[in-house]
Chain A
Amino acid sequence: MAGKDLTPPATQGVARPLENPIQWFHAASSVVSGKWQCRSMDMASVIFYLLATLLVISSLLVVFLRNVVHCAMALVTALLIVAVLFVTLHAPMVGILQVMVYAGAIMVLFLFVIMFLNPVELERRRGVWWGFGTILAVMLACVLTPMFIIDESPANPLAATESFGSPEMLAKSLFNEFVLPFEIASVLLLVAIIGAVVLAKREH
């Protein structure tokens, strides 16, 4: 009963121009880079750097703001930007799941708990310790970064087919090779639900 074979044959061969956001992104990218005649800085790079900057700024806001609710909203922003990055990386299904699960459910849960516990006073900014922690983290970043500048990485990503990252591809993997982890994940979520209810109950 699949609806797929009902497309009249007349339109099957005609190219449908630009229907989903991944195609818009690459079309805009090629239009602008064509006009600007600039090879190193095309639209895809510009969008990536823009998103990366916004992501780093929101993450810094998560860590350095003093009001907890503001930190939570900054984290929601960071999660939404990561979802957009997923879509540009040809993973629309995972991107939509990121919005639905992470930004739409987990962060709402965080906000519920924050409102429930109702922290009123702002955290004191401890200059020495915050500086020390920041230096440690910067050292970590400096250690990790050279490891990632791999010269043999493929500069041209493998040509992705139309269905790469689509729900069908993800479903095929999930129900064929990864069916056991899938079932275990459902048991894990059940255990988490029961655990949360038991832990958060008021004792009488």
Chain B
Amino acid sequence: MIVDLAIITVKAALVLFMVLNLAGILGWIERKGSALIQDRIGANRASIFGFAGLGLVNTLIADPLKFLTKEDFIPPAGDKFLHMLAPCMALFPALVTFAVIPFGDVLHLGDRVINLQVAHLNVGILYVFAMGSLGVYGIVIGAWASNNKFSLLGGVRGSAQMISYEIAMGLSVIGVLMIYGTLELQEIVRGQATLIGALLPSWLSFMHPLIGWLPAWGIFLQPLAFLLFFTAAVAETKRIPFDLPEGESELVAGYHVEYSGGKFLMFFAGEFAEIVTVAGLVTTLFFGGWQIPYLLRDGFHFPWGGQWLLPQIAVVFLQVGAFTVKVFFFCWLQILLRWTVPRFRYDQVMRLGWKMLLPLALMNIVVTALWIVAWQ
């Protein structure tokens, strides 16, 4: 029993470590990536005794130190307790959501089977949506406690945007849940191991050579849901093109204008942790999570008959590595999106969420249901 609890602690510490470090590295990638896109050099001044460490010194050491040593200012007419509580409420859901995202299959240690996921909940993906709902509080309370009209305006816009896109996010995932038949994320990822050829009904068997060799990933079975979910998730995390709540040129940094120093760092880190979480969710639901095509638990089994058996440790490393690579890719994609697409106006954001994404998600559910009936 003690060993079991120790294993869970190690898994949780590992995931927390990975998310926080990735959030830090993403700060550097954002600055250098934006510099590349905008044809400039970016931040390159910080160094320790001349050792600049590829710019990582700048972000991982200098930036946090800069934030932590700034003066911590609480607006005198604002609400002191809520002002201190808001950044915690913004950071907490972003970190905790990663507990249900599986980063590997099973690991056999002796005669123990360890599921590489921090919490195997039977409500699975609903936990993610619940934590997304809690994320609204950081914005609302942060805006209110600052006693500042710009802040309040940014906060109200931000929370209205977040609750609108929560609906689109939830509905777009229902198609995926119907196809894999389960709410649990680890089972969804395991369900993506089969090849589409095994799922084709008899009257579609002529398409075997065309698509039968593809693995049953969410992106092939539910492409519209992927687009809807990705858009809604980027809007939920208030990244550009949806970042009017913190609009840098219009609202003077919106709901976190009165925060400086360590509290701003918490908001900032929360936003980057949410980027990692969205990337993790998109890979789990639509891109096979830790699956590499044709890699099963004992090695590669190619559809043309070849096999390449591997020891179990190698398979686990490959799976965790594949997951990490996919998460990196989607983090990079969101950063690229930020520096490429211009910002939406607020009424355009609301119109997109309610009048375009919501009906499309509902239509996706109906079409998926009809498709499932036809495939049986």
Contacts and interface: CB of A to CB of B under 8 A. Distances in A.
Given a CB threshold of 8 Å, the question of whether A touches B is answered with: yes
A8 B297 contact: yes
A3 B152 contact: no
A14 interface: yes
A53 interface: no
Contacts of B143: 115
B4 A18 contact: yes
A143 B25 CA distance: 60
Interface stretch (A98-106, A131-139, A144-152): A98-106
Contact of B372 (A1, A30, A69, A96): A1
A1 B127 contact: no
A78 interface: no
B11 to A, nearest CB: 11
B5 interface: yes
B134 interface: yes
B61 to A, nearest CB: 35
Contact of A167 (B113, B122, B141): B122
Interface residues of B, number: 55
A132 B156 CA distance: 39
A15 B203 CA distance: 41
Contacts of A92: 121-123
B313 interface: no
Contacts of A166: 122-123
A38 interface: no
A93 B199 CA distance: 30
Contacts, number: 127
B122 A105 contact: no
Interface string B131-156: 01110110011011000000010001
B181 A3 contact: yes
B159 interface: yes
A31 B5 contact: yes
A180 B123 CA distance: 24
Given A1-B179, A16-B115, A166-B122, A100 B188 contact: no
Interface string A7-51: 110110010111111001001101100000000000000000000
Contact of A20 (B120, B137, B199, B297): B120
A79 B163 CA distance: 19
B130 interface: yes
Nearest to B162: A108
B333 interface: no
Given A20-B119, A27-B5, A108 B140 contact: yes
Interface stretch (B189-197, B239-247, B349-357): B189-197
Contacts of A142: none
Nearest to B111: A14
B79 interface: yes
Contact of A4 (B85, B111, B182): B182
The 8 A-B pairs at the shortest CB distance, nearest first, are namely A104-B133, A3-B191, A2-B181, A19-B120, A99-B130, A100-B130, A3-B180, A17-B4
Given A2-B191, A18-B7, 20 more contacts: A1-B372, A1-B375, A2-B182, A3-B190, A8-B296, A11-B106, A16-B113, A18-B5, A19-B119, A20-B120, A27-B4, A30-B1, A73-B82, A93-B126, A96-B126, A100-B126, A104-B136, A108-B133, A163-B122, A166-B122
Interface of B: 1-2, 4-5, 7-8, 79, 81-82, 85, 106, 111-115, 117, 119-123, 126-127, 129-130, 132-134, 136-137, 140-141, 143-144, 152, 156, 159, 163, 179-183, 187-188, 190-191, 193-194, 199, 296-297, 372, 375
